[in-house]
A and B are shown apart, each in its own frame.
Chain A
Amino acid sequence: MTGRLKPKHQRLVLVVVALIALVGAALLASWALRSQASYFYLPEQMAEDPPAPDQAVRLGGMVEEGSLETLADGVTISFTVTGRENSAIPVRFSGIVPDLFVEGSGVVAEGRLGADGVFVADNLLAKHDENYVPRELQDMTEHQAAEMAEDTTVGL
């Protein structure tokens, strides 16, 4: 792009450079997205093909009835997340639970699967509108009563 180029050529060079950058961005993005494809897990997927121990993922499912327990420190809870099939992942979470987080409701937990097979959540996604069901959990209603999921789903 020196002064010697004709305007037409400079324009062409600009277009080519911009195209290379944009295609590069698209390639990088799609490569990163493919590795993200394993970002959201259902319990059965996590049981079958667990993510790497330090990989940040989301686990979505239903909080099993009777599994919710508060540990001695007063801020850590443990519960089990179940999916459509008979697989269950134990989850531990330290923090303030969303108001509508109850047994039998849907949940999306963000965190990592520990080496001991317990999913350690950094965040339980909170519900913001009673009419709202997260898309990831819509299929859960086959497993649980549809109405209950509508009423109690906890999701981002």
Chain B
Amino acid sequence: MAAELGLAALWMAAALAVLQLLAGALALRGGERDGAAMAALVRPAAAVQGLLAAVSFAALLWVFAITDLSVKLVAANSHVDKPLVFKVAGAWGNHEGSMLLWVTVMALAGALIAAIERRLPERTMLATLGAQAFVGIGFYAFLLFSSNPFERLPVPAEQGLGLNPLLQDLGLAFHPPTLYFGYVGLSVAFSFAVGALLTRQVTPEFARVMRPWILGAWVFLTLGITAGSYWAYYELGWGGWWFWDPVENASLMPWLAATALLHSASVLASRDALRTWTIMLGVVAFSMSMVGTFLVRSGVLTSVHAFAVDPERGSFILALLAIYIGGALLLFALRAGAISEGKRFSATSREGALVFNNVMLSALLGVVLLGTLYPLLTEAFDVRVSVGPPYFNPVGAVFALPMLAVMAVGPLLRWRRDSLARVSKPVILVAAIALGVLVAVVLLGNVHILPLLGLALAAGLAVASFMPLRGRKLLRTPLSTWGMIVAHFGIAIALFGMASETAFSEERLVAVADGDTTQVGPWQVTLAGVMPVAGPNWTALEAKLAASYRGGAGIELDPQSRSFWSPPQQTTESALATRWNGQLYAVLGAQADDGRWQLRLWWKPFVTFIWYGGLLVALGGALSIFGRLQADLRRRTARRLINERRTERESLA
């Protein structure tokens, strides 16, 4: 019953999206008087559409929670023996469910805009909600015609096929929704951009309305990428944290675009410059999340993260991609000329630094996009190529390193016009720190050029990120400034983690018998034995390792080689010992013919800083949202008080 209810709610939500689009379009056409009736429909339609989509998703959660095996999707992706949390997570751990989650979040976002957003001119608001509905309709059609999550089986299954064991991990169960919140937040920014293009009203107020959505999307993308990277690190058992896999790139590209958008929207909001550029980035950022969805969902590219290969779905998303992005770019081409560029600024100014950051981020985006799509392009000419780290690392660094250097200086500069002489003292200090680290690391030993530059920049950037606090009262510094400081500091921390891991990791690969001791970096590791263990839906061989750091107290580590039976699959469960200054990473391999066990051990100094950095970046974004909302609230309260006094005075008079 729940499945039918969910499907019915989905159809009704789709119908309301159509109504929302039509009413919005008619209202814009009809002008002040005739359009009013239509305009009155748009906001309620958006609100109810959000509710219905939520009902539909709740129905999906329910059929997964009770493991209703007459629903095809449940039978294909769940299993009666699975722990409840993974049963529920199974609802979005597959193609159909994740698309339904996407639509639901998007509809709820639309409902939220409709309910609370009153700052934009009404016509821009109508255009925005219409654009939002237009995007939504495509995804509803995709779900209803090509990926119905509520399809019933003619005969209910008995047990279910199970969820991919690699997804049976708390980190991964919750990381796709996180990314989706990010993607969907960008769809809202896209709708705002299209709305503003339609009504030609690109103002600082518009940027202020759009900014919390970009920030929110950016925070979720940051969290999703951080979580995904940590998952790949401990779950795949390869000891790496970034593989330049197409699926990883699919989340990185919208993040790069959103980062650029965030900064250019800031320029628009505070200085009324970069109008067209901001709109352009709004279109590009959402395009990148669509491209990402296409790459991930169509299976056109080789990926570590195996998803079903389905050309029909691929072409459906490709068609949506063409309609939305092509349409938005066409609209942009037609309207961009009508939007004036706004205020001027000199090259050495906060705006100038932000423009540089924007161009570098766009170049990085282009580099990653080209590298990701290149295998597809060459395949058209029947040449098979795979593009990997030897391409991405150096080419990416060409743009990332100068950007990071300018990022250290940019926040020190004043808006509009500044001179380098004014900020020379802090800049020299930061450069000296970076240079000092560079020399120290060179003296320390044999470190490759990229991690070397990374370490130096990280040190300089870490100090520089706190420079904007100079001469400010700490408690009076606005939250949004704190947000920027924390986010920039987070980038420095993550960069430090990446560079240290690359530069100083030590690896040991051995075959050991029971009782044997081996050394990796400062650690001594002894194999106490290997024994079979069992979990709710798996069995495993588990090694008991006793590890001690520089002869200190022993820590027990239990890496496993796990076998799931439904679906039958083996996974490697690495074991980690975390210290403040790094992680010991242990993987159990196969048993050699002579009875010895293969062990792979890594000592990775400061590797955890990569993810601490990611969390700090997200925290910075969150602080910024909070600060902006607080400021808006204050402004609104002040305006209300002024109005109240005015009416009071008028009534007295």
Contacts and interface: CB of A to CB of B under 8 A. Distances in A.
Interface of A: 1-3, 5, 7-8, 10-11, 14, 17-18, 21-22, 24-26, 28-30, 32-33, 36-37, 39-40, 56, 58, 70, 73-75, 94-97, 99-100, 110, 123, 126, 128-132, 134-136, 155-156
A127 B394 CA distance: 28
Contacts of A75: 509-511, 589, 592, 598
Given A126-B236, A136-B302, A37 B367 contact: no
A134 B362 contact: no
B387 A135 contact: no
Contact of A131 (B306, B341, B379, B594): B306
Contact of A40 (B277, B385, B389, B399): B385
B530 interface: no
List 8 tightest A-B contacts by C-beta distance, closest first.
A74-B511, A129-B306, A96-B589, A25-B363, A99-B570, A74-B592, A132-B306, A1-B347
Contacts of A8: 341
Interface string B336-356: 000011111111000010010
Contacts of A134: 302
Given A28-B398, A75-B510, A39 B303 contact: no
A30 B370 contact: yes
A37 B383 contact: yes
Contact of A33 (B355, B387, B570): B387
A17 B359 contact: yes
A33 to B, nearest CB: 5
Nearest to B341: A11
B366 A26 contact: yes
B8 interface: no
Contacts of B561: 99
Contacts of B345: 10
A5 B352 CA distance: 15
B600 A21 contact: no
Contacts of A5: 344
B394 A73 contact: no
Given A33-B371, A73-B511, A96 B390 contact: no
Contact of A21 (B359, B510, B587): B359
Given A70-B593, A96-B600, A7 B303 contact: no
Contact of B340 (A7, A74, A96): A7
B26 to A, nearest CB: 36
A18 B378 contact: no
Contacts of B596: 74
Contacts of B366: 22, 25-26, 29
Given A7-B341, A25-B366, A99-B572, 6 more contacts: A2-B346, A18-B358, A37-B383, A39-B385, A128-B304, A131-B308
Interface residues of B, number: 72
Interface in B396-412: 398-399
Contact of A32 (B375, B391, B417, B570): B391
Which of A21, A29, A70, A110 gathers most chain B CB within 10 Å?
A29
Contacts of A97: 589-590
Contact of B386 (A3, A25, A58): A58
B267 to A, nearest CB: 12
B302 A155 contact: yes
Given A25-B399, A58-B386, A97-B589, A130 B363 contact: no
Contacts, number: 149
Contacts of A21: 359-360, 362-363
A97 B309 CA distance: 26
B572 to A, nearest CB: 8
B340 A58 contact: no
Interface string B298-334: 0001111110110000000000000000000000000
A128 B398 CA distance: 33
A1 B370 contact: no
A3 B237 CA distance: 56
A41 B36 CA distance: 65
B166 interface: yes
Contacts of A7: 340-344
B384 A136 contact: yes
B388 A39 contact: yes
B600 A95 contact: yes
Given A18-B362, A136-B302, A130 B236 contact: no
A2 B416 CA distance: 11
Contact of B164 (A24, A25, A94, A129): A129
A137 B71 CA distance: 35
B442 interface: no
A22 B359 contact: yes
A135 B570 CA distance: 22
B565 interface: no
Nearest to A37: B385
Given A40-B386, A75-B510, A135 B360 contact: no
A70 B594 CA distance: 11
Contacts of A1: 346-347, 352
B387 A39 contact: yes
Nearest to A9: B344
16 contacts: A5-B344, A7-B341, A7-B344, A18-B362, A29-B370, A58-B386, A70-B592, A73-B511, A74-B592, A74-B594, A74-B598, A95-B600, A128-B166, A135-B301, A136-B386, A156-B304
Contacts of A58: 386, 388
A110 to B, nearest CB: 8
A32 B359 contact: no
A75 B507 CA distance: 13
B385 A25 contact: no
Contacts of B647: none
B302 A156 contact: yes
Contacts of B238: 123, 126
A36 B360 CA distance: 23
Contacts of A96: 237, 509, 572, 587-590, 598, 600
Given A1-B346, A3-B417, A130-B567, A18 B390 contact: no
Contacts of A28: 367, 395, 398
Interface in B236-257: 236-238, 245
Nearest to A96: B589
Contacts of B371: 29, 33
Contact of A24 (B363, B417, B572, B590): B363
B517 to A, nearest CB: 16
Interface in B567-601: 567-570, 572, 587-590, 592-594, 596, 598, 600
Contact of B384 (A3, A26, A40, A128): A40
A2 B419 CA distance: 12
Contacts of A24: 363
A85 to B, nearest CB: 16
Contact of B390 (A30, A36, A74, A156): A36
A128 B247 CA distance: 14
Contact of B346 (A3, A26, A126): A3
A54 to B, nearest CB: 11
B376 to A, nearest CB: 9
